[in-house]
Structure 1
Amino acid sequence: MSGAAGPAASPDGRDDLGGEGTADTMRERAGENRAKLWLLLRANRLVVAGVLTLAVFVGFVAAAAAFSPALAEKVGASDPIETLFASMITAIVTGATLVVTIGQLVLTQENGPLGDQQERMDDTLAVRSSVAALTGEPAPTDPAAFLDALLAAATGRAHALRESVRGRTDGSDGDETAVGADVDALAAGVVGNADAVRDRLDGAAFGSFDVVFAALDFNYGRKLGRIERIADEHGEALTDAERDRLDELREALSLFGPAREHVKTLYFQWALIDLSRLILYAAVPALVVAGAMVTVVDAGTFSGSTLGVAHVTLVVGGAFAVTLLPFSLFVAYVLRVLTLAKRTLAIGPLVLRDSE
């Protein structure tokens, strides 16, 4: 979803404040195909893992059918089945152990001596006090409501800044001065973008990707950059009251940055713990299937064919796909985490071309 447009962009993609284009949503900033970004970020991770598993099965069977009967006969032989699934047992056990190690590394961040825990608490309460001072009420405890409160404060301060310069003219033809036009465009961008994100935060529950995904679409970094440029180019034209309003808006936007990063970090930990649990769950049936294939299945276990595809090929392909399910889960979750990390590498008004 897009927020309100900011300053008009010139043909070379630079806006009238000297910045690059004015896109607010992550998809627009990244220039990615909508379907690709949906697959990497928005799609349910269990569905993505299921699709990957199904693709492995279909690919395996299609390859066997294409090279039939030679490949089907080879798959039907006992030794290749033993070799394949014995290797899969080793891979599953090793992978599950690695996942447990990753989970332990995530959890170690929550462990520590009493002094460290007290420091974490003091830092958290200090930030919450800053947010309470900014919004004029106690900081919400729900992550979505917490981000929403910051956006509401930014919207209110953008309105106040716009009102403080409204009606300024150059004394000739009644047009707004350059400072009035730039401030109005900045305020419109903040309000429009914040309102769109707040609509998506409404009712979003942490644990799902909805909170983080909505927060990604508030382009606070570019707005901070515009504030700096306005202060530099129009500092002398601004009154003391207008400079105070500009600083207040900057304060609201600068608090949103670390708040979003904190929520994103918590989501990373949440997702990696979920991933560890799911892989351990999937490893048990995968080991059972791999063990059964090694000890039970041979060339004569499944005779006959369907639509020209040997039954043993279908069974081996299905079993191979099931044993790869833990890896499919790993790929599905890590794709989202890595994509999200890349798109949010920089904090503040620093634009990375690959992520912006």
Structure 2
Amino acid sequence: MTRTVNLLDGPLTLCGAGREHLTPGVPFTSRVAYAAAHVVADPRAENVPGTPATVDWDATLAFRRHLWSYGFGVAEAMDTAQRGMGMDYPAARELVRRSAAAARAEGGAICAGVATDQLPAGPATLDEIRKAYAEQLADVQDAGAQPVLMCSRHLAAAARSADDYLDVYGRLLADVDGPVVLHWLGPAFDPALTGYWGDVDPVRAADTVVALIGAYASRVDGVKLSLLDEDFEVALRRRLPAGVRLYTGDDFNYPALIRGDGEGHSDALLGVLAAIAPPAAAALRALDAGDLAAYDRILAPTLPLARHLFGAPTFYYKTGIVFLAWLAGHQDHFTMVGGLQSGRSPAHLGRLLRLADAAGLLPDAELAAHRARAFMTTAGVAQ
């Protein structure tokens, strides 16, 4: 079987994955690392825009077992799982329930997103938003996952000041049973979240986040930050109380942020980790061993891929995540809930294929080439 694919910009002969990155292992010791996982759509269902999500549960849970086998925790029902972009709340609730049960069986770590997406689109009062958060918080805790209080489009639209955020989140944290992860997703990932935490200036918004954490530090495990600004993340990390983690969600600058400096490091809750799990696991084990040179060397080829994968419009990165999962053999098709497989162009995905091969992310080069040729044929590129 040939490994050559004709792309829009010319032919590519795939090399496949390096064997040294394909060995699963135990969780990491020097960093906490959650991989935000995608969902596998049922290709036989009407997963088209505007319809309820229909999930292939077996394939979806198999991918989570793949992540646990490499030592990662799973960040479930987050934006990578198409929350707000095809994944409705009934499906997300079932996803959390099934994944948390699988985590118990596998001995894997799991956290899960808590949002307000059971509310209808449109205006909502602050009290309705708080109650929606509380309902999902109870669902996640009942399932046995650690809650991640995700940013809410409803709250972004309803809040008139930083005090509104402090009131809603403060009442939730006052009642929570155990530590939660706060979530700050920037407008690159979701334009509806512009001005979250009460200010379009992230420096002033950070004051609100720090005040909230300071008031409820014992209820906050950490804050997941996805603003794609390395300097801002380091500055916020240094303001957090002792014992509160900064979970990087920066898919542009994760190697340096996780590596850290003399004053600290970021842990990780990242969508890109699901796409680069084998080499990322090898890099984190090198970090555990204190081998910084190996850590840098292993992650370096993944960074160009990540920056392309999460390029503007960033919120369509999920399309590339699923494309890579298909090429790597983790699912049998390239379809998504909500029809989101149309979110990236053949040119974008062809470039992604080149970068994935260079990063050693395709364990079976012949299978990847076969599937890529089929996809490119539908795009009008003769094979």
- Please state which structure has a larger fraction of its residues in strand: 2
Larger Rg: 1
* Structure 2 length-normalised TM: 0.21
- Structure 1-normalised TM-score? 0.22
